[in-house]
Amino acid sequence: MDCLFCKIINGEIPSTKVYEDDMILAFRDIDPQAPEHVIIIPKNHISSANEINTENSKYISHIFEKIPYIAAMLNIDEHGYRIVNNCGKNGGQTVPHMHFHLMGGRGFAWPAG
């Protein structure tokens, strides 16, 4: 499949990995928006949040089970962090393999623009 993040999963495109197991991969964003900015993806191709269903939701729950561990690894657990999913055109999604941005090391305003 011609998918950037699938290529990162299978090693065709290099990435700086911060966590990996059989279901998910976390790697540093190439254009970080915060001192710590990691992309967390399911290892099966889910195009966007619109495609989450009972068959694949275990990948999503697994991501959230591991976020505390990844945040602790990045040393952003104590001060907190932002988790973002962009879905589709209006959501600002640019890579059509569902992912969460985990960002920390600075504060974020809310509401966001």
- One-letter amino acid at 46 equals I
C-alpha span between 55 and 36 (Å, rounded): 31
Q: Cα angle at 100 between 107 and 7, to 5 degrees?
A: 130
Nearer to ligand 5GP, 39 or 63 (CB): 39
Closest listed residue to residue 92, CA positions, set 48, 56, 53: 48
For residue 79, indicate whether it is catalytic.
no
Tell me the H-state helices in the chain: 4-9, 57-73, 88-91
Give which of ligand 5GP, Zn ion, none residue 3 binds (C-beta under 5 to 8 Å, depending on kind). Zn ion
Give which of ligand 5GP, Zn ion, none residue 6 binds (C-beta under 5 to 8 Å, depending on kind). Zn ion
Residue that the structure tokens 């790697």 belong to: 27
DSSP character for 51? G
Per CB under 5 A, does 3 bind Zn ion?
yes
Among the listed residues 28, 43, 45, 62, the single contact to Zn ion using CB under 5 A: 45
Give which of ligand 5GP, Zn ion, none residue 31 binds (C-beta under 5 to 8 Å, depending on kind). ligand 5GP
Residues lying near ligand 5GP in the complex (CB under 6 A) are found at 4, 13, 15, 27-31, 39, 86, 92-95
Annotated active-site positions, please? 99
